[in-house]
Structure 1
């Protein structure tokens, strides 16, 4: 049974671990070793994660008191992150988190939700009726990452 709740500062370690492990184990098929190492290193920025938890709409999915996924919104309608634990992929957790986030966006009277998604995540969002606005190259810590700007109107 998956429970979803608002993230708390005490969740930071588990959230950062899921972020790092998902990138290393799930996204590795679509990005180079150097890109994966650089991207996963974002887990080490404790202050940034705590700021996200404190200031953004940030939710976690739990099963048996273990966090198995998380999602957070920036600026009301920008999905800035959605990650599911590497051992809990394809079990509906990402879909549940996305539905809750989309509901939050609609409750705040936005007409569209947007996100920059990885090559790995694109099929997931495609299956949820997101449209690709553009393929793009984003610079992160000196490396270029290919990803996609997607959106879904309500």
Structure 2
């Protein structure tokens, strides 16, 4: 498994990974309405907006052969934004490898606090990585409410 930085050519495969992960892995914790709001039909997705979201952050991509197995993003303020693992790679250590790269980059950049808004699905993973729960919150996207968890970790 190779962990590398994002390349523009990763945009569409990562969009597909994002959609598939939400529609398979996250489905266990979120309703059909929530899943469809979170990951609407990929054919209607604004790819320019998606690609713009990769700017000004470090995006670590897990690749095995030609397949992308996951990705995680670190912003300069210590925020971990999108963090998704392909269904076929869940439980195989891919998340740990991506997280390790994020933490190493944070330390290199002298970032002393990481924080994330973890989904119900991702909360146990971030707890295993040493994050503490700050609060449970309900957020709204396009009129649909979602529960997630603000979590933090200091080094």
**Range of TM-score over shorter length:** over 0.9
Tell me how far apart the structure 1 counterparts of residues 49 and 8 of structure 2 sit (CA, whole Å). 11
What residue ranges of structure 1 are gaps of 5+ in the alignment? none
What residue ranges of structure 2 are gaps of 5+ in the alignment? none
**Are 2:11 and 1:12 aligned?**
yes
**Are 2:125 and 1:117 aligned?**
no
After superposition, the Cα gap between the structure-2 partners of 1:75 and 1:45, relative to the gap in structure 1 and judged at 3 Å, is: farther
- When the two chains are superposed, the root-mean-square deviation of aligned CA atoms in Å is 1.4
After superposition, the Cα gap between the structure-2 partners of 1:103 and 1:42, relative to the gap in structure 1 and judged at 3 Å, is: farther
Return structure 1 stretches of 4+ with deviation > 6 angstroms. Answer: none
Name the structure with the higher helix share.
1
Comparing 41-50 with 13-22, greater Cα deviation is found at 41-50
TM-score with structure 1 length normalisation?
0.94
Corresponding position of 2:36:
37
Contact 1:76 1:108 (8 Å CA) reproduced: no
After superposition, the Cα gap between the structure-2 partners of 1:75 and 1:48, relative to the gap in structure 1 and judged at 3 Å, is: farther
**Are 2:113 and 1:90 aligned?**
no
